[in-house]
Amino acid sequence: MASDDLWVLGIHMTKFGKHPDKDMVDLASESGPWPTAGWP
Amino acid sequence: MTDMGVIAAGSLMAASAGIGQQLQKQLGQTGVPVYNVANACATGATALRVAMMAIKSGEADMGLAFGVEKLSGAGLLTGGSRKDDSGVFTPSGRYGAVAPTDGRIGTEIMPGVFAQIGMEYGHRYGGTSFELFARISEKNHAHSTLNPLAAYSKRMTLDEIMGDFMVAYPNTRPMCSANCDGAAAAVVVSGATLATLSLEQRRRAVKISASVLTTDPWEESCQILPDVNTLTRNAATLAYEQAGIGPSDLDLVELHDCFATAELVHYDNLMLCEQGGAVDFFESGATWRDGTLPVNVSGGLESKGHPIGATGIANVWEVATHLRGEAGPRQIDGAKVGLTHVIGLGSACGVHILEKSAA
């Protein structure tokens, strides 16, 4: 892999839909891609 | 969070809320730069590009890009305002020589614009019909049944789609993207930093072979009907050049089917078929999950949903998940290269080409 390449290391999304009990920060926090990037 | 050198946060409806800083308070205030981004329906894709550009510039080795939206029940998002001047136009202001067209000639509401764009394609090339557009939606709703993260995972028959509430001919309600809530996030890393990580991380990483953002060049016809074609075709051309591939190399595509009519014209704009050949391309069955070039295996915006700020990263998630071989029952076997596309009126178009890791 070339040093100037760019890579997606981890990526995640929430279930899309109606989430009246969650605000934007809740949703954004749930989308955290850490496990998919190889971190716990 | 301590590894993140930059954060790019996308949200259209909360553009001035400082959502990036709000998220930092939950995940860790490390003092790194935060860029809050709003760029129409390309907001998420733009946030991703901002994180990428920070890495390209040397400002960071690794960055977090996320997009989030609360959109349930938002209704029509722009235009549609009734003019109160009784049809009499008085030129004024910098652009006073040009009357706003909304409500006079055509419309600026999203369903109206994209209905017109589909009808224009049919007028130019032939072969379109209400049923044809509905069958595009039938495909996407069928695909959604395999995506547990879709807002709507219900298979719909052609009769159900065509018989539903008409929003703007020829798009009925199931043929329109679903306003909903959601978020998506990505960690982007430089190749140099990735090389220092574990074999498993290198194996699951997905290469961003192309990243392009375009806007409308001036077109005379744009002054009445927004042009979603030229900027998409320009973005695709640049993306294929950057990646050094052509459309025939793609294994799957996630494109911006904000309406069923939009999906048809973007087959052409993304050069998945020859110019004017979108109807034949769809009729060949190519865009179904078991076709030669599956399009919107996630269910697309019509089923998966369209929380605007999240959409441009969510479609990268879909393609990346296939390239990682982790898409479960909807996996496109052997997927190595995929393309994502979003477009916002006003205008902004983002195209990314992603490749499976060789590690």
Chain A residue with CA closest to B13: the answer is A24
Q: Give the torsion through C-alpha atoms of B308, B185, B234, B175, to 10 deg.
A: -40
Question: Closest approach of chain B CAs to the CA of A22, in angstroms?
Answer: 9
**By percentage, how much of chain A surpasses pLDDT 90?**
68
B273 counts as catalytic: no
**Residue B329 pLDDT > 70, yes or no?**
yes
**Residue B76 pLDDT > 90, yes or no?**
no
B111 pLDDT band, cuts 50/70/90, is confident
**Residue B224 pLDDT > 80, yes or no?**
no
A35 pLDDT band, cuts 50/70/90, is confident
Q: How far apart are CA B342 and CA B299, in angstroms?
A: 15
Q: How far apart are CA B279 and CA B288, in angstroms?
A: 14
**Residue B286 pLDDT > 70, yes or no?**
yes
Q: What is the pLDDT of residues B294-312, one digit of tens each?
A: 999 999 999 999 999 999 9
> Both tokens of residue B351?
């195209």
**Residue B102 pLDDT > 60, yes or no?**
no
Q: Where are the alpha helices (DSSP H) in chain B?
A: 19-27, 43-56, 110-125, 130-144, 158-162, 191-194, 199-204, 230-243, 260-269, 278-283, 300-303, 308-323
Mean pLDDT of A18-38: 90
The pLDDT value given to residue B192: 96
| Closest Cβ opposite residue B151 in set A5, A16, A24 | A16
What stretch of H or E contains B167? Answer: strand B166-168
**β-strand B171-172 against B182-190: which pairing, if any?**
unpaired
The pLDDT value given to residue B90: 67
User: Would the CB atoms of A29 and B23 count as touching at under 8 Å?
Assistant: yes
B96 pLDDT band, cuts 50/70/90, is low
User: Would the CB atoms of A12 and B182 count as touching at under 8 Å?
Assistant: no
Give the Å distances, CA to CA, from B293 to B176, B200, B299, B328.
22, 29, 15, 18
The answer to whether B187 and B64 are in contact (CB under 8 A) is yes
**Residue B106 pLDDT > 80, yes or no?**
no
User: Would the CB atoms of B185 and A11 count as touching at under 8 Å?
Assistant: yes
Options 3.40.50.2300, 3.60.21.10, 3.30.460.80, 3.40.47.10; CATH of B6-72+179-356: 3.40.47.10
The pLDDT value given to residue B219: 77
Q: How far apart are CA B145 and CA B152, in angstroms?
A: 8
Best mean pLDDT range from B68-72, B95-99, B187-191? B187-191
Of B99-103, B205-209, B317-321, the least confident: B99-103
The pLDDT value given to residue B218: 83
| Closest Cβ opposite residue A9 in set B25, B183, B187 | B187
- Contacts (Cβ under 8 Å, ≥6 apart) of B214: B231, B232, B234, B235, B238, B348, B349
Handedness of CA B102, B75, B185, B338 (dihedral sign): negative
Give the Å distances, CA to CA, from B343 to B41, B42, B102, B274, B286.
6, 6, 20, 21, 23
B205 pLDDT band, cuts 50/70/90, is very high
**Residue B81 pLDDT > 70, yes or no?**
no
B85 pLDDT band, cuts 50/70/90, is low
**By percentage, how much of chain B surpasses pLDDT 90?**
80
> Both tokens of residue B235?
């973005």
**Residue B240 pLDDT > 60, yes or no?**
yes
Q: How far apart are CA B257 and CA B311, in angstroms?
A: 11
Q: Check CB contact of A17 with chain B, cutoff 8 Å.
A: yes
Mean pLDDT of B87-98: 62
B41 counts as catalytic: yes
Higher pLDDT pick, A3 / B28: B28
**By percentage, how much of chain B surpasses pLDDT 70?**
89
Give the Å distances, CA to CA, from B67 to B21, B124, B228, B288.
13, 36, 22, 28
Give the Å distances, CA to CA, from B154 to B3, B71, B157, B200, B208.
40, 20, 10, 35, 32
Q: How far apart are CA B257 and CA B264, in angstroms?
A: 8
Q: What is the pLDDT of residues B245-276, one digit of tens each?
A: 999 999 999 999 999 999 999 999 999 999 99
B 33-72 residues with CB < 8 A to A: 52, 55-56, 62, 64, 66, 68-70, 72
Radius of gyration of chain B (CA): 20
Average pLDDT, chain B: 92
**Mutation for testing the B interface, residue in A5, A7, A12, A31 having most B CBs under 10 Å:** A7
